[in-house]
Structure formats: C-alpha cells, structure tokens
C-alpha cells in the first residue's frame, strides 16, 4: 500500500494510492472540471486546517465534516458537491488516511462509495500489521 502525504503538521494527512504510479484520489482532484476548482481548493483548505489544529477534525462543523459510517468509522470532508471519505489510523495518533473522493449527486452518500472507503481501511489495517505500507513524496 502506498501513501502520499497531503499535509504534515500537528496531524498527518495522507492520500491512499494503489501504486507508486497511480493515485486515484489525487488524479481525481487534479482532473476536476473548472467549475469545481473553488470546491477543490476548499477541500485542501479543510485538510490544511485539520493538519494545523491540535484538535484535528474534531472541532470542524458538521456541515463540512461528519461520520458517514459508524460501524467502520468512515468520515467525510465536504466542499460544495465534492466529498472526500477518510478514516483515522487505528495504529497511530493524529493520522488521517484519505481514501476516496467523489462528486455527490444525491442527498445521501451512496453505499458503494462508503464500501470503497471501508475496503481501503481494511486493506490499510492488514498492510500496516504486516509492515507493508510505503510512504512516497509523489507519484512517479
């Protein structure tokens, strides 16, 4: 499993990547249409605020950050129609793994988007325990 740091400060925020050559989340963010650039910039501002604050995401208002799956503890950052699903590392303090981003088109977050984040979280937990997580600075 590959992780790329998005922002490292008081909290560490990483993007999950399938390989050293491909990061779906970062590619999705960089490939957004021009009318979503303001929302994308807001997402990055939320991530920066989380990384810089000792409380991390805990004090963010519900309309920009809340839990979407209680059983698996999956959360989402919200900026306009953009959603970024993430989870806390169960092994390290003050570490967030951003799993999956998407454009929300309906009132409720789709199960398939949540399931994708849950699958990534389970993969992270398995790889972490077997020491198979690699942190790289950028995609090749």
Check residue 139 and give its pLDDT. Answer: 67
- Helices and strands in the chain: count of H runs, count of E runs: 3, 7
Stretch 21-41: mean pLDDT, rounded?
93
Q: What is the pLDDT of residue 67?
A: 96
pLDDT value, residue 127 = 94
Cα-Cα-Cα-Cα dihedral sign, residues 64, 67, 121, 95:
positive
pLDDT at site 14: 96
- Whether residue 19 has pLDDT greater than 90: no
Identify the pLDDT of residue 138: 74
Radius of gyration of the chain (CA): 14
- Of the candidates 80, 89, 83, the one whose C-alpha atom is nearest the C-alpha of residue 110 is 83
Which residues on adjacent β-strands are paired with residue 8?
12
Q: Which of 50, 3, 25 is nearest to 100 (CA)?
A: 25
- The pLDDT-based confidence of 140 (bands split at 50, 70, 90) is low
Mean pLDDT of 113-118: 95
Q: Are 29 and 101 in contact (CB under 8 A)?
A: yes
pLDDT computed for residue 106 by the predictor = 75
List Cβ<8 Å contacts ≥24 apart for 110-113.
113/83, 113/85
- Average the pLDDT over 9-21 and give the result: 93
Residue range 43-62: mean pLDDT, rounded: 95
Q: Where are the domains of the chain?
A: 2-135
| pLDDT of res. 20 | 87
Name the token pair of 100: 């999956």
Q: What architecture is domain 2-135?
A: 2-Layer Sandwich (3.30)
Neighbours of 43 (CB within 10 A): 23
Decide if pLDDT at 18 tops 90.
no
Q: Which two tokens stand for residue 128?
A: 């972490």
């Amino acid at each position: 499993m590959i992780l790329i740091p998005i922002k490292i400060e008081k909290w560490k925020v990483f993007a999950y990547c399938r390989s050293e050559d491909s990061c779906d989340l970062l590619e999705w963010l960089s490939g957004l249409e021009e009318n979503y650039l303001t929302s994308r910039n807001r997402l990055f501002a939320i991530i920066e605020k989380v990384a810089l604050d000792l409380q991390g995401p805990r004090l963010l208002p519900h309309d920009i950050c809340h839990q979407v799956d209680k059983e698996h503890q999956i959360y989402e950052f919200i900026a306009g129609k953009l959603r970024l699903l993430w989870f806390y590392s169960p092994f390290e303090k003050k570490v967030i793994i951003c799993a999956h981003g998407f454009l929300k088109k309906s009132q409720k977050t789709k199960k398939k988007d949540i399931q994708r984040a849950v699958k990534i979280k389970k993969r992270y937990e398995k790889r972490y325990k077997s020491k198979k997580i690699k942190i790289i600075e950028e995609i090749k």
